[in-house]
């Protein structure tokens, strides 16, 4: 593993602070999004089924044998 040149202490601290902040913000967004996804999963499946039934001409683009 190559030896990295250590950045200045202020830059390092700033980077760590930014990283921590970014992680917390991301966690909050993720939890919010997870609940949204859980609520929308059934409706998304419903929409997909409707689009399947409406678009018989697009069989190549919307294969019915999805996993």
* Residue span of the structural domain in which 31 resides: 11-58
Give dist(CA 33, CA 42) in Å, integer: 15
E-assigned strand segments in 1-67: none
Confidence band of 51 (pLDDT split at 50, 70, 90): low
What are 6-17's pLDDT values in tens digits? 555 565 566 555
Q: Is residue 32 situated within a structural domain?
A: yes
Tell me how many domains the chain contains: 1
Q: Is residue 47 situated within a structural domain?
A: yes
> What sign for the dihedral angle of Cα 30, 46, 67, 63?
negative
* Backbone phi and psi for residue 46, each to the nearest 5 degrees, phi listed first: -60, -50
Q: Is residue 19 situated within a structural domain?
A: yes
Mean pLDDT (the chain) is: 59
């Amino acid at each position: 593993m190559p030896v990295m040149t250590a950045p200045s202490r202020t830059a390092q601290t700033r980077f760590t602070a930014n990283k921590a902040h970014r992680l917390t913000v991301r966690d909050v967004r993720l939890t919010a999004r997870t609940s949204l996804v859980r609520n929308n999963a059934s409706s998304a499946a419903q929409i997909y089924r409707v689009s399947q039934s409406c678009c018989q001409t697009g069989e190549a683009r919307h294969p019915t044998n999805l996993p």
